[in-house]
A and B are shown apart, each in its own frame.
Chain A
Amino acid sequence: MGKDFRAIFWKDIRMLVSGKFFLLAMGALALYTLYVNFGYVRLVELSMYKVCLWDPQGICVDGSLLLQRASSREELDRMLLEDPDGVGIDLSRGKAEFLLYRSTPQVERYLEDYARSLLRPQEDFKAEVLGAFTTEEKQRREITCELLFFELSAVGFLGIAAVLFREKGMGVLRVHACLPVRGRLFLLSKLAVFLLSDLCFAILLTLLNVGVGPGLAILPDVLVETVILSLFMALIGLCCALFLQDFRQFTMIYLVIAVFVATPVFLSANTSVKAGWILFHPFYHLYMGMKNAFFGTPGESFFYYAGAAVGIGLLYMLTAAAFSREMRDAPGGLRYAGKDVEKREEG
């Protein structure tokens, strides 16, 4: 069995090499690294929220130096119009009134607390800085996590489906049905090739963008999350390639997954947009698992790993059933072989 697996494995590697998959992955790695190191951390500034104060009675005498004082209510309004993400404090009536020009209910509370902490830094309302990362370190971890998640969920998924569609088109699945080899080796080999490729990608992306020292510290957790996400996506890709007729149908499904599945996850995890149902979205948990791994706070429960294992197991069973059906029916081969040969002979 080991010999059979090696044969299929090397054949799959050659398929990927000839399909320029590794070249594309290296290109993506280079592009992401350039973007993170020379674009994102240099050009994107995550400045603190501006807190503006109008205190005509001079009540606030020991406020933070971060407070920007306005000389009139009109000036306070003008300052907030210039930066609508900022917070305004009106002390003209002797009591703090908080002004928020643009916010959401979820963020409002945090902004108000932050502004209060600047107003009375000596008292209970003191802002606590979570974690010991510098802004750049946070940025690097955040963006590397997002890029890795995108690469694994969108690009790897596309890659594995493309390879299987190609084999389906060549009709070779039908040949494998008559070979003395277990069908599951064919699937396991593909999963192994893509998993190894994803693990190498994750290692390089993490070390190049988070830094070698901090990257090595979080690598074990990142790789665990990579294994889970890579297997999920590879199995979904295989399933799609086996159930769908052609690559055109697959591109439609791909769009559905990209737009309607991945978008709410990114929005919920990275912005103030929160939907209650997102907690039932498995990819939200996978994304948060990845994010926690990058920030060195892996706190996923037993249920998370058990759920992932069950999900992967079920997907594998579904893929294996679809693979058996495909070997039995193999409808794609006739079309490909015929058309391809006709084209060649016309040429």
Chain B
Amino acid sequence: MIEVKNLEFSYGKEKQALRGLDFDVEDGEIFGFLGPNGSGKSTTQKILTGILGGYSGRVSMLGEEMKGRQGPAFFQNIGVLFEFPYLYGNLSALDNLRYFSSFYPKEKLRDPLKTLEELEFPAGYLKKTVSSYSKGMRQRVSMARAVLHNPRLLFLDEPTSGLDPSGAVLFRRMIEKEQKKGTTVFLTTHNMTDADLLCDRVAFLAEGSIAALDTPKNLKERDSGHCVTVEYMWQGRRDTRSMTMESLKGGLSFACEEILSVHSQEPTLEDVFIRYTGRGLS
């Protein structure tokens, strides 16, 4: 679906934003693109969505090599959700969706009302102007706009930003549903929970280069100490002890009256990210 080979891009002579990116995204995959601010995520997304030209290297999207400004056929197959909900504040949710959907072939379109219902958009606000919506409501309308024309490739930039926990769960379910329909998802995020729960593979971007690329599970396992911490009671006292996975095979090597908890010491995706890039995400 996406093939990127030795992608380089500079803003002017001095600021090189991308330094030879190499990655590909398979059909129907959810691919996470993670990196701190200024690492080149937005630049990469702008190139992939056909907004930014003037790069070197090879970029192939939807089976075709990108050359110059893309034609309408390309944009009919992609959907983009921006980090901020860009909508016409003076129009209602429905009017916004009707306006944006007017640029796609009718046979490709979903029913805007049903899509909004799916995203649990409050019915009472359907005809009110967007300027009266909360950020969560705007984000729901933006998500509806991005998927309205059933794109083959969906670019999502911080999709759960500004949503309450139940909204974030709803969005994750929606993204998984899109994947089941065969949509490929390119997810740019700071949110490690989203990346961990949703992505088939993630790429860590640091200073314009990919520092690591694998499944979240593999990345965490690779950096795991393979040990567990056991918390237990012995002779009326609470105590903890760390032990390797290997040593667990033979059972507990110490006496205890009660096991209170067992914690695997697997690193979080954020720990792995910091280890690879030397920087936190925020």
- Where chain A touches its partner, the secondary structure class is helix
Taking CB atoms, residues of chain B closer than 8 Å to A93 are none
B213 at the binding interface (Cβ < 8 Å): no
A181-214 contact mask (Cβ, 8 Å, vs B): 1 or 0: 1100000000000000000000000000000000
> A175-B86, A180-B73 are contacts. A345–B134 as well, Cβ < 8 Å?
yes
CB-based contact A11/B84 at 8 Å: no
Q: B115 in the interface, Cβ–Cβ < 8 Å? A: no
Max chain B CB contacts within 10 Å: which of A14, A167, A182, A337?
A337
- Given contacts A14-B91, A177-B51, is CB(A337)–CB(B84) below 8 Å? yes
Question: Which residues does chain B contribute within 8 Å of A327, judged by CB atoms?
Answer: 51
In the complex, which residues of chain A have a beta carbon less than 8 angstroms from the beta carbon of B102?
A: 3-4, 7
- Contact residues of A between 302 and 347, Cβ < 8 Å to B: 327-328, 333-334, 337-338, 340-341, 344-345
In the bound complex, how far is the Cα of B131 from the Cα of A5, in angstroms?
Answer: 25
Are B86 and A337 in touch, CB under 8 angstroms? yes
Q: Does A130 contact B (CB under 8 A)?
A: no
Selected from A7, A170, A181, A328, the residue in CB contact (under 8 A) with B52 is A328
CB nearest neighbor in B for A342:
B135
Residues of A within 8 A of B100 (CB): 175, 179
Q: Which residue of A lies closest to B99 (CB)?
A: A11
Q: Which of B52, B76, B83, B138 contacts A180 (CB 8 A)?
A: B76
- Confirm or deny: B167 has a beta carbon within 8 angstroms of a beta carbon on chain A: no
Residues of A within 8 A of B87 (CB): 170, 172
Contact A4 B103 (CB under 8 A): yes
Q: Is the Cβ of B131 less than 8 Å from the Cβ of A180? A: no
Assess whether A345 is in contact with B76, with CB atoms less than 8 Å apart: no
Residue of B nearest to A335 (CB): B84
Main secondary structure of the interface of B (DSSP, over half): loop
Residue from the list A11, A14, A328, A337 in contact with B85, Cβ < 8 A: A337
Distance of A7 Cα from B104 Cα, bound (Å): 11
A171 to B84, CA, bound (A): 8
Chain A residues with Cβ below 8 Å from B145 are 175
Q: Which residues of A contact B91 (CB under 8 A)?
A: 11, 14
How many B residues are at the interface, by size bracket?
35 or more
Does A15 lie at the interface of the complex (its beta carbon under 8 Å from any beta carbon of B)? yes
B80 engages A172 (CB within 8 Å)? no
Name A328's contact: one of B51, B89, B104, B134 (CB within 8 Å).
B51
A11 and B88: CB pair below 8 A? yes
Cβ–Cβ contact A345 & B89, under 8 A = no
Task: Please report the C-alpha to C-alpha distance between residue A174 and residue B145 in the assembled complex, in whole angstroms.
Answer: 14
- Which residues of the partner chain B approach A15 to less than 8 Å between Cβ atoms? 88, 90
The answer to whether the Cβ of A104 comes within 8 Å of any Cβ in the partner chain is: no
The answer to whether A344 touches B103, judged by C-beta atoms less than 8 angstroms apart, is: no
A181 to B49, CA, bound (A): 14
Chain A's closest residue to B101 (CB) is A7
Asked whether A341 and B78 contact (CB < 8 A) given A11-B88, A178-B49, A179-B100, the answer is no
Cβ of A47 within 8 Å of any chain B Cβ, yes or no, is no
Q: Mark A1-42, 1 if CB is under 8 A from B, else 0.
A: 001100100010011001100000000000000000000000
Q: In the bound complex, how far is the Cα of B51 from the Cα of A174, in angstroms? A: 9
Interface check B267, CB cutoff 8 A: no
A344 lies within 8 A of B51 (CB) = no
Contact B82 A171 (CB under 8 A): yes
In the bound complex, what is the Cα–Cα distance between A334 and B157 (angstroms)? 13
Q: How far is the CA of A344 from the CA of B104 in the complex (A)?
A: 32
Cα distance A290–B166 when bound, in Å?
63
Interface string of B223-266 (1 = CB under 8 A from A): 00000000000000000000000000000000000000000000
Q: What's the Cα separation between A181 and B104 when bound, in Å?
A: 9
Nearest 3 A/B pairs, CB to CB: A180-B72, A171-B86, A337-B84
Listed in ascending order, the chain A residues whose CB lies under 8 Å from chain B are 3-4, 7, 11, 14-15, 18-19, 167, 170-172, 174-175, 177-182, 327-328, 333-334, 337-338, 340-341, 344-345
Question: Besides the contacts A14-B95, A15-B90, A18-B90, what 19 more A-B pairs have beta carbons closer than 8 Å?
Answer: A3-B102, A4-B102, A11-B88, A14-B90, A15-B88, A171-B86, A174-B82, A178-B75, A179-B75, A180-B73, A180-B104, A328-B51, A333-B82, A334-B84, A337-B84, A337-B85, A341-B134, A344-B131, A345-B134
A-B contact pairs, 17 of them (CB 8 A): A7-B102, A14-B90, A14-B91, A170-B86, A170-B89, A171-B82, A178-B78, A180-B73, A180-B74, A180-B104, A181-B72, A181-B103, A333-B86, A334-B83, A341-B85, A341-B134, A344-B135
